[in-house]
């Protein structure tokens, strides 16, 4: 039996259909779907099926010295038990195994992981490797005809990355989290690539905040024939000079010169991963979402492999034949027009041999795909067409006009031949047509204006621009950069797009830059990235690179331990500001995010116990304090981040709570109406985020039982939720005496509620 291993289930299914020439039969092995035809069985993995980790004894953060993790034993653990069982079962029966995972460092490692498991079950198993860049018939058949050997060196470079990232991430994350006292779900994440990337964002924000705008002025004049001109000096930095120019302006402008020249815009280069993510970011896609959609399109045969550094089409791609495929598609007019031209492809700066640039591999109809899939697919198709199109040609006109002794100018552009812009509308350029004029012509001045402006700070990084910068600095790889950015959001280090660092990010980066700057500089990770490339090229051994990284990390820990007291204080001071939501209107103390009993969270006054003002917060998700302030209550807006879900903009916690109280009072007054509303829409946080209305606290979804208890009104409910009591079950489990001390409610009354609550829960 011939066993074929693909990286994912969908890829396995498609490869099996291509090789079989018809629909293969499906069979479940150890709970895993496989596809069978002739003597062949194709099965898909689910990415990595094993992972590197520390032995069990190292899991206790409090008992294990962080520095011990640098040289601790690394073990391999199974993470996909069903798939491993299926591999073992099929491996025993097979006499031959072909690795057909994605052809890159990660894919090679995933393939080798599967191969080792199968060969352990059957040591005599013969292995080979197929490499392809698109899951389409011609390429898959060619790949299986030209099988080669597994590249163990490429896999070793991937394994080195796993081990190095584990060691750096685990040791540094534990150290910083323990030193700052941020443990549990709120631990502080530090990483070999993540931290230098975060430092770029924080440093850019510092530039913006410290930027001192410089005033300048621009002078404009309106002339006859609807001609607007600007003073030739452009920005004028001295107001006195501006006043002098205005005083010298005459009533007539004389055309001094008109010069028109052709201007050529060259077509863009083919998409590599970095430029694709940047382009997708420009039309509203996050880096992670763009790659997820591109991966789906690749697996389903619509585009080529989306993880590539190549910007030069290889000669093996028949570009004209590929374009002809689109003659009967939604892009038929574009394809027809393109085939009438020279179709000379552009070339980018990087050429690699592993994968071609990203290009469409098959036509698709809009109805076949979801809207976001179609938008990414269309972007790839149009970029491909643009790289084969003619240059865009403009007529660029430069006009000089003297008004009195003062020189003015205007620039005009007229589109002569759209060229590649016809196919690629994402890169906009507008015409600016000047009126017909002759040299020496005199035009009456209709008026003039002076615009006072200021220099602007540097722009924040969009995800696309940050990916480009990471690429330039050698931070991460084409396959990992979008994941790094996703982690920064998930850890509540950044928010928005363009990205703004949170106070937590400032605290971490400021501390590391002061006491252990190596962690925040790109040079360290650049060195290790280059070494990992050398492993794949067989110029250095995996163990040597891992040892080198451990030596580097040891020197970093020497810096950290020398400055441990300063690091702890710096982190605690910085992190405290990230918990301040506003000022208490009752006592003017800080309102701070706190944790109550059983992991509940609330906003409490730092003036406690004298001031007992509290507001409830959702139990789950990371709480991010934004810089948007409520005008009525002076509180900063809250955002809740749950992994894998859209961020929930809760808004002002006080407004949110008051709205919830009003709603509960209305429901209590008319319970029948409330039940009808509750059936189709059960308090969805995501719905609140989408509608951009004030969201309701999560506590309301569990709080109906408390409201139903006799004697618990809005004010009492506020006290209970502030103490961490969100449900009838919470109330039933609480200690009456302790709860009475926290809330100021009599223990007798609480005990009576507990009896009723116990019956409800």
pLDDT digits (tens, 9 = 90+) for 254-279: 999 999 999 999 999 999 999 999 99
Which pLDDT belongs to residue 707? 57
Which pLDDT belongs to residue 170? 93
Which pair of structure tokens corresponds to residue 64?
């294990």
| pLDDT at residue 699 greater than cutoff 50 | no
The candidate with the shortest Cα–Cα distance to 743, out of 614, 617, 657, 656, is 614
Active-site residue, from 103, 175, 298, 305: 305
Asked whether 275 and 481 are in contact (CB, 8 A), the reply is no
Mean pLDDT of 748-760: 68
Which fold would CATH assign to domain 160-210+459-573?
Answer: Topoisomerase I; domain 2 (1.10.460)
- According to DSSP, residue 723 is labeled T
| pLDDT at residue 687 greater than cutoff 50 | no
CATH classification for the domain delimited by 273-387, as one of 3.30.1950.10, 1.10.290.10, 2.60.40.1120, 3.90.1150.10: 1.10.290.10
Which pLDDT belongs to residue 690? 36
Which pLDDT belongs to residue 672? 63
Give the pLDDT confidence of 600-658 residue by residue, as tens digits.
778 888 888 888 888 888 877 778 887 788 888 888 888 887 766 777 888 888 888 88
Q: What percent of the chain has pLDDT over 70?
A: 91
- Average pLDDT taken over every residue of the chain: 87
- Give, in order, the Cα–Cα distances in Å from 323 to each of 284, 339, 360, 385, 392: 27, 7, 9, 8, 20
Give the pLDDT confidence of 52-73 residue by residue, as tens digits.
999 988 988 888 899 999 999 9
Query: How many whole angstroms separate alpha carbon 525 and alpha carbon 511?
Result: 19
Instruction: With cut-offs at 50, 70 and 90, classify the pLDDT of residue 737.
Output: confident
Which pLDDT belongs to residue 702? 36
Q: At a CB cut-off of 8 Å and minimum separation 6, what does 510 contact?
A: 202, 570, 574
3-state secondary structure of 258: strand
Token pair 């994402």 in the structure block, residue:
426
| pLDDT at residue 711 greater than cutoff 70 | no
Give the pLDDT confidence of 493-534 residue by residue, as tens digits.
998 888 999 888 988 999 999 888 889 999 988 898 899 999
Instruction: With cut-offs at 50, 70 and 90, classify the pLDDT of residue 749.
Output: confident
Q: What percent of the chain has pLDDT over 90?
A: 61
Give the pLDDT confidence of 117-168 residue by residue, as tens digits.
999 999 989 999 999 999 999 999 999 999 999 999 999 999 999 999 999 9
Which pair of structure tokens corresponds to residue 158?
């991937």
Query: How many whole angstroms separate alpha carbon 75 and alpha carbon 65?
Result: 19
What top-level class would CATH report for the domain 2-45+80-150? alpha beta
Which fold would CATH assign to domain 215-266+392-454?
Answer: Topoisomerase I; domain 3 (2.70.20)
Which pLDDT belongs to residue 685? 37
Q: Catalytic: 305?
A: yes
**Whole-prediction pTM:** 0.79
Highest mean pLDDT among 401-410, 587-596, 642-651, 732-741: 401-410
| pLDDT at residue 426 greater than cutoff 80 | yes
Q: Do domains 160-210+459-573 and 215-266+392-454 have the same CATH topology?
A: no
Respond yes or no on whether the N-terminal peptide bond of residue 406 is cis (omega within 30° of 0).
Answer: no
Mean pLDDT of 707-713: 63
Mean pLDDT of 344-352: 88
Mean pLDDT of 561-567: 85
| pLDDT at residue 674 greater than cutoff 90 | no
The better pLDDT of the pair 648, 420 is held by: 420
| pLDDT at residue 759 greater than cutoff 70 | no
Give residue limits of the domains in the chain. Answer: 2-45+80-150, 160-210+459-573, 215-266+392-454, 273-387, 579-760
Please, what is the Cα angle at 146 between 141 and 149, to 5 degrees?
A: 125
């Amino acid at each position: 039996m011939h066993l074929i291993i693909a990286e994912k289930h969908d890829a396995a299914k498609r490869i099996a259909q291509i090789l079989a020439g018809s629909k293969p039969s499906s069979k479940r092995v150890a709970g895993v779907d496989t596809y069978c035809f002739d003597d062949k069985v194709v099965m898909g993995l689910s990415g990595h099926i094993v992972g590197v980790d520390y032995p069990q004894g190292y899991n206790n953060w409090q008992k294990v010295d962080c520095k011990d993790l640098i040289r601790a034993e690394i073990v391999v653990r199974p993470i996909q038990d069903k798939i491993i069982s299926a591999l073992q079962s099929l491996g025993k029966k097979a006499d031959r195994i072909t690795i057909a995972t994605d052809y890159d460092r990660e894919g090679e490692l995933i393939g080798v992981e599967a191969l080792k498991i199968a060969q352990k079950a059957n040591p005599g198993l013969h292995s080979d490797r197929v490499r392809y860049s698109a899951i389409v018939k011609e390429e898959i058949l060619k790949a299986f005809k030209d099988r080669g050997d597994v590249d163990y060196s490429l896999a070793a470079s991937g394994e080195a990355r796993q081990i190095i990232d584990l060691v750096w991430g685990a040791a540094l994350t534990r150290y910083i989290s323990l030193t700052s006292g941020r443990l549990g779900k709120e631990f502080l994440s530090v990483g070999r690539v993540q931290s230098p990337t975060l430092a770029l964002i924080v440093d850019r924000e510092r530039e913006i905040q410290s930027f001192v705008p410089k005033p300048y002025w621009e002078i404009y004049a309106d002339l006859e024939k609807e001609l607007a001109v600007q003073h030739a000096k452009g920005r004028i930095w001295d107001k006195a000079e501006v006043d002098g120019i205005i005083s010298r302006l005459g009533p007539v402008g004389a055309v001094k010169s008109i010069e028109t020249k052709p201007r050529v815009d060259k077509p863009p280069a083919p998409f590599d991963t970095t430029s694709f993510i940047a382009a997708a970011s420009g039309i509203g896609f996050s880096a992670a979402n763009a790659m997820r959609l591109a991966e789906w399109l690749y697996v389903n045969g619509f585009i080529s492999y989306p993880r590539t550094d190549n910007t030069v089409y290889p000669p093996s791609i028949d570009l004209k034949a590929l374009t002809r495929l689109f003659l009967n598609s939604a892009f038929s007019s574009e394809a027809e027009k393109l085939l009438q031209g020279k179709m000379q492809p552009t070339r980018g700066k990087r050429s690699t041999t592993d994968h071609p640039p990203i290009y469409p591999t098959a036509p698709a109809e809009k109805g076949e795909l979801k809207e976001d899939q179609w938008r990414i697919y269309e972007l790839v198709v149009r970029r491909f067409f643009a790289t084969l199109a003619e240059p865009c040609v403009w007529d660029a006109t430069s006009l000089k006009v003297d008004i009195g002794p003062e020189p003015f100018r205007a620039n005009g552009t007229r589109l002569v031949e759209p060229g590649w812009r016809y196919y690629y509308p994402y890169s906009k350029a507008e015409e600016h047509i000047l009126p017909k004029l002759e040299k020496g012509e005199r035009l009456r001045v209709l008026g003039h204006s002076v615009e006072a402006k200021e220099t602007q700070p540097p722009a924040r990084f969009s995800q696309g621009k940050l990916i480009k910068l990471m690429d330039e600095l050698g931070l991460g790889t084409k396959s990992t950069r979008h994941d790094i950015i996703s982690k920064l959001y998930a850890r509540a280090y950044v928010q928005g797009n363009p990205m703004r660092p949170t106070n937590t990010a400032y605290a971490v980066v400021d501390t590391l830059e002061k006491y252990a700057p190596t962690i925040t500089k790109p040079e360290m990770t650049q060195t290790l990235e280059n070494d990992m490339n050398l492993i794949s090229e067989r110029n250095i051994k995996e163990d040597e690179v891992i040892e080198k990284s451990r030596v580097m990390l040891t020197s970093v820990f020497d810096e950290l331990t020398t400055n441990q007291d300063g690091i702890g204080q710096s982190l605690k001071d910085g992190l405290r500001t990230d918990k301040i939501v506003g000022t208490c209107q009752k006592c003017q103390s800080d309102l701070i995010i706190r944790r109550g009993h059983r992991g509940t969270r609330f906003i409490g006054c730092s003036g406690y116990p004298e001031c007992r003002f509290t507001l409830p917060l959702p139990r789950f998700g990371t709480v991010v304090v934004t810089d948007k302030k409520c005008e009525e209550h002076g509180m900063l807006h809250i955002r809740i981040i749950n992994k894998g879900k859209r961020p929930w903009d809760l808004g002002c916690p006080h407004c949110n709570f008051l709205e919830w109280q009003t709603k509960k009072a209305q429901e209590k007054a008319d319970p029948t109406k409330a039940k009808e509303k509750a059936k189709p829409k059960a308090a969805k946080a995501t719905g609140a985020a989408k509608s951009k209305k004030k969201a309701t606290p999560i506590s309301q979804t569990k709080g109906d039982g408390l409201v139903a208890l006799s004697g618990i009104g809005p004010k009492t409910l506020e006290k209970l939720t502030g103490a961490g009591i969100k449900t009838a079950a919470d109330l039933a489990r609480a200690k009456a005496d302790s709860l009475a001390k926290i809330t100021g409610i009599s223990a007798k009354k609480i005990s009576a509620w507990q009896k009723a609550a116990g019956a409800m829960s």
